[in-house]
Amino acid sequence: MTAKPSQRPNSPSPRLRESRLSTLHLAPESLGFALDCAAQAIGAVRLGSALPAALQSVFVSAPEGAAAASRGATQDIAYRTMRRLGTADWLIARQVRKAPPPHVANVLACALALLLDEAQNAAYAPFTVVDQAVNAISARREFAFAKGLVNAVLRHFLRERTTLTEAAQADLVACWNYPVWWIKALQQAWPANWQNLLTAGNQQGPLTLRVNPRHATVEAYLLRLQETQIGATRAGEYAVRLDTPMPVERIPGFNQGVVSVQDAGAQLAAQWLKVQDGMRVLDACAAPGGKTGHLLELADINLIALESDASRARRINENLQRLGLSAEIRIGDAGAPSQWRNADEPLFDRILADVPCSASGIVRRHPDIRWLRRMSDIPALVAEQRRILGALWPLVKPGGELLYVTCSVFPEEGEQQAQWFEGTWKDAVRLDAPGQLLPATAGTPGTLAQAAAFDTRQGSSPLPDHDGFFYARFQKR
């Protein structure tokens, strides 16, 4: 179970709710309304909430019908702001002597993110962004006093854009839009690639589909997309990348289980576990069930999907129902087998250990992660990973295999863990696997450490566009 935003606090702090002191008199379809909603979500992230949970709370509290009208624009602005937060905060601090109230600062950050992304955001002219940001502040009684400040800051930025953006390049956080500790960690771990990694994380991830081989081949599905005038390319053995993202309900065959949404790098997990008909398999930390579904698509296996969170476990069942597949879903801690397994049960032929991690490899899809993580989280996650691996390894039958997976680019959660495991468990034989798969965007191949060679030599990634993952595979003697 890689660390996903839904595992983070799923309700905003009371301080976020306290910021909603007055009724917002703005048309729900207006940019001003979306800026205000996005600013509320940004405020919740600053207080420790994951962005998806923060957005959901904002939508739930919006007036009836307003959430539907503003959802798309609000989400777009919030995600853009997360990717530009370092630059936006630097610009605000550079232009304002005294820090404005948090909500005012967050509206400013959202507006600045749109202005910084002007080339990719032709829907909003600069003067419209300024006007609507002022409207958003004016519409709240407790912040109306700051409308002049908002107007002045944004207009000054537009006048001095070149000077200010060039000056921001000298500041590490403003330049790269990551915390200093994160940047330095990548510089140390990947001295030849750290800039590419940061740049990739600041781009929006593509919509990649996994074709269900029980229903279609990749070639047949690409032809189906072509017939419906949807542009797409092959991105892996079962992967198809859409040229333009779209809602899942518009994707041909999605509701019928022909395809699922899954990053090309994540699809390697089921492929490398090499399951065969009749095997007994454990998908540890399984929610939301993407890899569970893929395993069941590839072979007729006896699969147990384990998840510690009951609410997240329900998502596994929902995904499997759409695919027309089934597994035994259990609730329990992967690091404490006595919670969910009888001592006399058979051992497993295969175990997929997709463990909690920093999620540093999927930051392009979840840009809030960079601002939520702390440097102290890494050693705590390393200890948790080792606890889970130590509990799962005895459940592998002799000759069976365990695949260790994280969606991280930090070596502490990758190659260093694999070496620790191999040195700790004398009956563990390391087999070939992708090793460290660094994020790559279309046209810019990533690099991977060749785990089969047991060193850090780097080669070209076989995938054209993927998130960051680490894979290590072990067989029990």
The set of catalytic residues is 407
Q: CB burial class (10 A; 0-12, 13-18, 19+) of residue 430?
A: middle
Query: DSSP letter string over 436-468?
Result: EE--BBTTB--EEE-GGGTS--EEE-SSSSB--
Distance CA 261, CA 254 (A): 9
Distance CA 186, CA 193 (A): 8
Distance CA 384, CA 387 (A): 5
At 239, the amino acid letter reads A
Tell me the CA distances in angstroms from 77 to 156, 336, 390, one per residue in order. Answer: 21, 41, 43
**SS in 3 state form for 214-237?**
CCCCHHHHHHHHHHCCCCEEECCC
383 touches 195 (CB < 8 A): no
User: Given its phi and psi angles, is residue 285 left (phi above 0), alpha (psi -120 to 50 degrees) or beta?
Assistant: left
Distance CA 114, CA 36 (A): 13
Q: How many degrees, rounded to 5, is the angle at CA 383 between CA 380 and CA 384?
A: 90
259 touches 253 (CB < 8 A): yes
309 touches 7 (CB < 8 A): yes
Q: How many degrees, rounded to 5, is the angle at CA 227 between CA 221 and CA 231?
A: 75
